[in-house]
Chains A and B, each alone.
Chain A
Amino acid sequence: MKHLTFRFLGACCLIYLASCSKSDSSNVSKPQIQVGQLVSPSAPLSGSIKGTMQAGQTYTISGDVTINAGDTLFIQKGVTVNVTNSAAVIVKGMLVSQGTKDAPVTFTDPRRAKTTGTSTASSDSAYSGGWTGIYCDKTCPLLSLKWTHLDFAGAGLQNIPFQGPSTGDQYVIYFGNPSGYFILEDSWIYGSPDDAVRFYGGKVNIMRNTLEKCGGTGGDGFNAKSGTQGNMAYNLIIGGATNGTKSANDGGITPQCMIAMYNNTYVNDGFRNTGTFGARSGSIEVENNSRALVYNNLIVDCRFGVRIAGGNNVTAKVYLADTLPHNDGAGIQQTAYGHNFFYADDVSLANQFVPTKVAQAVVTTPQSTDIPNMAAFLGASYTFGAQYDGTSLVGQNNPQFVNYPLPNMNYQTQASVDGFDFHLKSTSPAVGKGTTSFTAFTNIVPVDPNFGSSGITGPGKDIGCYQIDGSGNQH
């Protein structure tokens, strides 16, 4: 009996664990929902738009389209939207793109084709902006993009759609509603001349996405300004011009900018910010009175490690992150970081695992939980921003990607996933080194199969966006 009981309990545990791990493969079809009238795919679209784009159809947007305030455009799975004439998608109402793993939605410029290998700002059309992008006004209550490809966007904005953006702005997504919800999950952004996503406020869940080739000669992956709170987690960001994820409370809009950045994988970021010779680029930047949680990130061959901006009362393009302890009930009580994993193939990169103050004052404290243990490496006498010799760190702690051989000296120009696979081998030193003892934003957006998040993934125990148990980034 004891054995039976033991076996029964063991089986229960296994079932329980299996159900927890979300790696079940059951694939029951969800009901397709339809909002308003169907949008006809027969004629190119421009002007105001609402209703539903029907599953599997191919649409053409040939001029700027506007979803008016109060209207909704619902895109069912498997839709392809070819955007021509550098058109823009203006969202004053609600936009929901409901792709699925098996039938993603694709927005693209049909003139452009993806390329692999070496990528530079003027040689690769990924940076030349095919269609304009998605611009969301203050009246947009929800932008939800799931399992959606946003390829070749970021053409210079030609028709200013509302007060805020300027002619020539070149983002893939501009989100301008501090009280709106912005959900970007399991999606892909391929190519942009500037920031892939610029947030001027919003309650956001930016989770399990893949960003490739974002920023031509500058530009961040996810660039959050004041009024923005939420998660940026489980994203794979490769070949970004400047930073992968950034928080900055610029603009003074309430609430204060607070972002939980965790379990992201940053590869080859920060080498195309040529105006400043990469001085302010890298992987993660927390600046200008914003608060952030920065844990469990895997940072490989990036120009800089985790930069917590400091201040010296004299110089700054950007300024001091909010590193003070608070007791104000906000989602993040104090900026904190640790359990981040760094790998570099060149000493100039290893010298910036803990960023130096050459370009700007920094207050990044070396963490003993980091891999390598930068607190131990730099010693107790280390002061913020001091230069150190990282020669001995070069090539150390290979994270053991499933298919991305390291060392790789093409880190400045390999800006896309191509055929590589950034999942961790089970033998990776990043496995199991993450912490799950912090709390991200768990209620920042509603969870809903159609009009909300499909699930806020909490901290993962493996560093990086791919978890050995199959959770995390699903790409």
Chain B
Amino acid sequence: MRKKALLPAVVLLLSFCTTSLLVSAQGADIGEISGHVYDAGTHEQLIGATILLQPGSKKMMSSLEGKFSYKGLRSGNYSITVTSQGYLKMDTSLFLPAGGNVKFDLFLRADAAALSAVIVTGKTNGETDEFARRKEQFSNNIVNIVSANTIAISPDITVANVMQRISGVSVERGNSGDGQYAIIRGMDKRYNTTLINGVKIPSPDNKNRFVPLDIFPAEMMDRIEVIKSLTPEMEGDATGGVMNLVMKNAPDKFRLEGNAGTGYSEIFFNRDFTKYSSSGISRKSPAEVRGPGVFASVNDFSYRNFMTSIGKPPLNSNFGLTAGDRFLGNKLGIIVSASYQNVYRGSNSNVMVQSPTGVPAPSADGPWVQTFSDVEVRQYSSRQQRLGLETKIDYEYHKHHSLSLFAAYVQLNEYRARHTIDTLLGGYSLNGYIGGFAIKDQIQTRTDLQNIVNTTLQGRDRWTEKFSSDWSLVYSRAKRQLPDIAEFSTGRSINPDLNAGTVTIGAPTVQNSSREWMHNTDQDLAAYLNLHESLLTIGSHRVDLSFGGMFRHKERDNYDNKYSLDPLTDPGSNYEQFISIPDSKFTFIPANHALGTASENAGIYHFNENVGAGYGQFRYAFSKKWEAAGGLRVEHTSQDYNSSLNASVEGKSASISYIDYLPSLQAKYSFDEKKALRLSYFKSICRPAYADLILFKDNSTNENYTITGNPYLQHTRIDNFDLRYEIFPRGLDELMIGVFYKSIKNPIEYALSKSSNTEQELKPGNFGNARNLGAELTFRKFFGDFGFSGNYTYTNSAIRSGKIKYYHDANNGTHYDSVAPKRPLQGQSTHIGNLSLLYKNPRAGIDAQLALVYTGERISTLSLYYGLDNWETATTFLDFSGQKALGRHYILYVKVNNILNTPYKVIIKQPNYAYQGDNKLPFQQSAHYVTAEYDRYYANYTIGVRFKF
């Protein structure tokens, strides 16, 4: 009867909106039960929840609006059971009076600890009630949840693409056009953390802590949660939010489901796909094979990497299979899930390469000028293979004690060929356009192998009525290999005759070739322990206390080795004429470039990080109207690294440690059942990524600039304030308004700076203190089978950071003034919005969704010079998905992404001298700004069948 004890809690969730008596036209005895099903956390309508009515075993699914209704019922007692994938089952009973019409709404709770690092073992293990209480305990956090159902009917195939549909979230795209990283509430990706089942996972990324979200196939997810306010039991390094990827759990009874799909990218209707064979690629660089200090031979570098062929790519394929069941009287649950995607993507890119040299402005007021040295026209052809394997075993060996083991392996292998036509721009113009003096044709092939292994053993124990605990032991390893990033170029001179208006192009010659090997491994060992105590009861009030701690030991190994090969000149000539790739010969100039860069390379390092934390937190419900939760977390960080740099170089190694006290306080005030106010304060931190600290000049991450580190970076400390007001005016309509304020000490941003060798490089820095102020709005409105929902976030962040104003004064004096103009944080859009148009026709078994994502303009790269920051312009992405049920077990689905073929565009907001007149540059669009990059990805189509038994 534990469930009965929980009724007060359920009552909070189960609000009877209206109970009215109506006289049925068909007779006084016939009545109706109807209502809606919502997510308790987000108040989002739940589509496709199963509503079972007893007696009579009548079953129906909730509609697009989350609605259900049973008509023609005789009066009497009925019980209703509501189940929905990813949610806790809910039972309730009611009495239907004669001729009555009972309407009510049901709020289902997500099936896991949304905010704790605890995984709950199944939903039928008799601890559901306790679990529900735990959930309730933290219900005053600010959380967004995307359910498995929503993912299934969304147009998305990777987690990153799902993310962009969440309020306050925007994504950064990779060069295939897929989302990779989330920016939450204007906070750059580094301020957000990724958890799998509540446990932090390491990143295979060679630069960052944040995990590339496109590595995860969306269909492995049971649910995705974005938690925007931290409680003390959560790790303190998430400021924008925590993305918790909750993998599928063992179901109550045998379940087999899966999908098979295929697809194509529109870009390959227009052009061919470039492929290469990765089979002959050496996983290790010559220095690793031959040993340190031994010269590589030019024969160690196979030309086969450059042997590409073009043609239409095969169809994409997409398979998933999940099987789960419970055994031993439901005490043992096992689920196994596998998914595989093989996708061919492409993009066309146009880049103006920005010259590092500043141009003096004619006065202190500008206008500021960015000049360009090259135009690069690039075609990317990328084959992405995603593999996900997951299993979860939960075992309830005693009524109050359970164990679970979770293991997952996710892999993303990308085989990318990049073809670049690089025109070196000259100082002349022909037919109004700036002409080139040389043209280079470059092929780069890059094999990028990433995977993450995560094994988590968790236990939950209930010791007494009031005291319970849970623990986790975690081993994770993230690995990335980039074996032999290989570039081969030919070059031709361009010789214009300006008087005749003609050009002659020289014969192709072999140009420098580069080969680079990188690999990195992150390995985490972590332990978590949480103790929970229901301390005392004051009347109907109860105080719950939790204490706990965690410890994580992380080791990262990073390796980098790069070779540059020079063409072997023809006898008596300074050039090597190009005949074919296999005929091209190379040499090393100077000879010891055959050692590569491995002998001394800041990119070869070992990094240790130990994070230990302890916390205490309380939850106190003063009344039905007031609830509060809060506490203090203390995190100690100690890091050390050692790179293979010379000991005489500053920054070869470092040890860093710091301690942070992270208070948190959350409160919720319910005006009535329809209106509530949530308040929260928490302090969070952001640790620099490992590579941020290390003076490693890396060319692999950014396509245009070298990236290096800064050992003097400070970690960031942030005070976060949130206020959210929710109204549910009537029916399904909903309005939520929130405001947030973040005060950020020492944010970390990447800015272009001059390296000592006259090139520009991207370097992280602390650019003072920033503030981030924003408002969020979520709304929903329905008309019959149609509905639309949306959200909008306004963010206003500001920071002052140093720039150089380079100009001449009236007396021809040259000035390099240091100024600190105000600007938004890098990556932060003032306006982010999502709008979805939904259609559901349950009679025909059709679901459809047209989803629009708007991301306002934002700074993509900071310039060293005043006025020359690079802005990514506003984008509007439109995606469509639709599905039709075929019988009870099959669903046919169609997804179309990027219908509008939205470009990725980077601009510099200064007068554009290259738009009109004699010195025009390609793909310029305005006299008022300069277009520095213009990329297109084209639409992607997916079609497939899902099945469920």
Residues in A lying within 8 Å of B, measured CB to CB: 66, 86, 90, 118, 120-123, 125, 127-129, 154-156, 158-170, 176, 193, 200, 216-217, 225, 248, 250-252, 256, 271-272, 274-277, 279, 288-289, 310-320, 322, 324-328, 356-362, 385-387, 412-413
Check if B599 sits within 8 Å of A158, measured CB to CB.
Answer: yes
Confirm or deny: B568 has a beta carbon within 8 angstroms of a beta carbon on chain A. yes
B425 within 8 A of A: yes
Q: Is B54 an interface residue (CB 8 A)?
A: no
Cβ contact within 8 Å between B359 and A121: no
- Cβ distance A326 to chain B, nearest Cβ, rounded Å: 6
Task: Please list 21 pairs of residues, one from A and one from B, whose beta carbons are closer than 8 Å in the complex, sorted by A's number.
Answer: A118-B572, A122-B567, A127-B589, A129-B591, A155-B590, A162-B650, A168-B597, A251-B756, A274-B569, A279-B437, A279-B493, A314-B371, A315-B372, A315-B919, A316-B427, A326-B812, A356-B498, A358-B496, A359-B427, A360-B427, A413-B573
Complex Cα spacing A86 to B593, Å: 11
Chain A residues with CB under 8 A of B564:
168
- Flag if A252 contacts B804 (CB, 8 Å): yes
| CB < 8 Å neighbour of A358 from B426, B697, B757 | B426
**With an 8 A cutoff between CB atoms, is B328 at the interface?**
no
Closest Cβ of chain A to B503, distance in Å, is 10
In the complex, which of the residues B427, B591, B812 contacts A325, with contact meaning CB atoms closer than 8 Å? B812
* Interface-facing stretch out of B173-181, B506-514, B686-694, B896-904: B506-514
CA distance A160 to B568 in the complex (A): 28
Answer whether A385 and B573 are a contact pair too, CB < 8 Å, given A256-B814, A319-B359.
no
- Check A156 against B427 for contact (C-beta < 8 Å): no
What's the Cα separation between A270 and B418 when bound, in Å? 32
Of residues 90 to 125 in B, which have CB atoms within 8 Å of A's CB atoms? Answer: none
Residue picked from B357, B424, B600, B650, most chain A C-beta under 10 Å: B357
- Given A156-B590, A318-B357 in contact, is the A277-B573 Cβ separation under 8 Å? no
> What is the bound-complex CA distance between A361 and B913, given in angstroms?
15
Contact yes or no, B427 A312, CB < 8 A: yes
Contact B360 A289 (CB under 8 A): yes
Question: B814, A158: Cβ atoms under 8 Å?
Answer: no
B49 within 8 Å of A (CB atoms): no
CB-CB nearest in chain B for A86: B592
Contact B427–A251 (Cβ < 8 Å): no
Closest 9 CB pairs of A and B: A129-B590, A361-B427, A277-B493, A357-B427, A324-B812, A250-B758, A317-B373, A128-B591, A315-B425
Given contacts A127-B590, A277-B491, A314-B434, 14 further A-B contacts (CB under 8 A): A86-B592, A90-B648, A120-B569, A122-B568, A166-B757, A274-B574, A275-B511, A314-B371, A315-B373, A315-B434, A316-B371, A326-B812, A361-B427, A412-B574
Q: Determine the distance from Cα of A430 to Cα of B410 in the docked complex, in whole angstroms.
A: 75
Q: Which residues of B contact A326 (CB under 8 A)?
A: 811-813
Chain B: minimal CB distance from A269 (Å): 12
User: Please, which residues of chain B bring their CB within 8 A of the CB of A256?
Assistant: 814
Contacts of B572 in A (CB 8 A): 118, 120, 413
- Which residues of B are interface residues toward A (Cβ below 8 A)? 355-360, 369, 371-373, 424-428, 434-435, 437-438, 491, 493, 495-499, 506, 509, 511-512, 564, 566-569, 571-575, 587-593, 595, 597, 599-601, 645-646, 648-651, 697, 754, 756-758, 804, 806, 808, 811-814, 816, 913-914, 919, 921
Compute how far the CA of A135 lies from the CA of B1 in the bound complex, rounded to whole angstroms. Answer: 82
Which residues of A sit under 8 angstroms from B597, Cβ to Cβ? 167-168
Point out the residue from B571, B589, B650, B813 that lies within 8 Å of A217, measured CB to CB.
B589
A325 to B569, CA, bound (A): 45
Whether A156 contacts B595 by the Cβ 8 Å rule is: yes
In the complex, what distance in Å separates the CA atom of A359 from the CA atom of B921? 15
B754 touches A128 (CB 8 A): no
Residues of chain B within 8 A (CB-CB) of A315 are: 355, 371-373, 425-427, 434, 919, 921
B357: contacting residue among A169, A316, A413, CB under 8 A: A316
Instruction: Give the shortest distance, in Å, between B516 (CB) and chain A (any CB).
Output: 12
**Which chain B residues border A166 with CB–CB below 8 Å?**
697, 757
Cβ contacts under 8 Å, B437 to chain A: 276-277, 279, 358-359
Contact residues in A for B756 (Cβ distance below 8 Å): 163-165, 176, 200, 251
State whether A313 and B600 are in contact (beta carbons under 8 Å apart), knowing that A288-B357, A327-B811 are contacts in the complex.
Answer: no
CA distance A272 to B569 in the complex (A): 10
Name the distance in Å between A7's Cβ and chain B's nearest Cβ. 55
Contact for B567 among A66, A274, A312, A356, CB less than 8 A: A274
- Chain A nearest CB from B423 CB (Å) reads 10
A317, closest chain B residue (CB): B373
Which residues of the other chain, B, contact A288 by a CB distance below 8 angstroms? Answer: 357
Interface of A is mostly: loop
Contacts of A289 in B (CB 8 A): 360, 814
Known: A163-B649, A252-B804, A413-B572. A158 touches B600 (CB 8 A): yes
Do A122 and B813 have beta carbons less than 8 Å apart?
no
Closest residue of chain B to A154 (Cβ to Cβ) is B590
Closest to B587 in A: A122
Q: How far is the CB of B155 from chain A (nearest CB, A)?
A: 41
- Which residues of B have CB within 8 Å of A274? 491, 509, 511, 567, 569, 574-575
- State the majority secondary structure of interface residues on B: loop
In the complex, are the beta carbons of B697 and A320 less than 8 A apart? no
Shortest C-beta distance, A150 to chain B (Å), equals 15
> Is there an interface contact between B427 and A216, defined as CB atoms closer than 8 Å?
no
A292 to chain B, nearest CB (A): 15
- Residue of B355, B360, B587, B816 near A317 (CB, 8 A) is B355
Q: B650 contacts which of A120, A163, A272, A385 (Cβ < 8 Å)? A: A163
Residue of B369, B427, B588, B591 near A310 (CB, 8 A) is B427
Q: A169: which B residues are within 8 A, CB to CB?
A: 757
A316 contacts which of B359, B428, B648 (Cβ < 8 Å)?
B359
User: In the complex, what's the smallest C-beta–C-beta distance from B425 to chain A, in angstroms?
Assistant: 4
Contact A387:B499 (CB < 8 A) given known A120-B573, A160-B600: yes
A283 to B568, CA, bound (A): 25
Q: Which residues of B contact A360 (CB under 8 A)?
A: 426-427
Closest-CB distance, B563 to chain A (whole angstroms): 10
**Which of B427, B491, B589, B595 has a CB less than 8 Å from the CB of A158?**
B595
Closest Cβ neighbor of B495 among chain A residues:
A358
Known interface pairs A271-B574, A279-B438, A319-B371. Does A314 touch B919 (Cβ–Cβ under 8 Å)?
yes
Docked-complex contact B357 and A319, CB < 8 angstroms: yes
**B-chain residues with CB within 8 Å of residue A200 when the two chains form the complex:** 756
Instruction: Return the chain A residue nearest B492 by Cβ.
Output: A277
Task: Check A277/B595 contact, CB under 8 A, given A252-B816, A316-B355, A385-B428.
Answer: no
Given A122-B567, A319-B357, A328–B813 Cβ distance below 8 Å? yes
Contact pick for B808, options A324, A412, A413, CB 8 Å: A324
- Per the bound structure, the CA–CA distance linking A88 and B491 in Å amounts to 34
Chain A residues with CB under 8 Å of B754's CB are 250-252
Q: Smallest CB–CB gap between A348 and chain B, Å?
A: 9
In this complex, what residue of B is CB-closest to A198?
Answer: B757
Chain A residues in 8 Å Cβ range of B651: 163
Instruction: Find out whether the CB atom of B426 lies under 8 angstroms from the CB atom of A158.
Output: no
> For residue B921, which residues in chain A have a CB less than 8 angstroms away from its CB?
314-315
B590 touches A216 (CB 8 A): yes
Q: A161-B646, A250-B758, A328-B813 are in contact. Are A193 and B590 (CB under 8 A)?
A: yes
A169 to B592, CA, bound (A): 11
Contact B601 A314 (CB under 8 A): no
Contact of B491 among A170, A252, A275, A356 (CB under 8 A): A275
B420 to nearest A CB, angstroms? 15
What residues of B have a CB within 8 angstroms of the CB of A123 in the complex? Answer: 569, 571
Tell me if A277 and B506 are in contact (CB < 8 A): yes
**Complex contacts, B913 vs chain A, CB 8 Å:** 312-314
Give the residues in chain B near A356, CB-CB below 8 Å.
Answer: 428, 498
Q: Which residue among A122, A127, A311 has the maximum number of chain B CB atoms within 10 Å of its CB?
A: A122
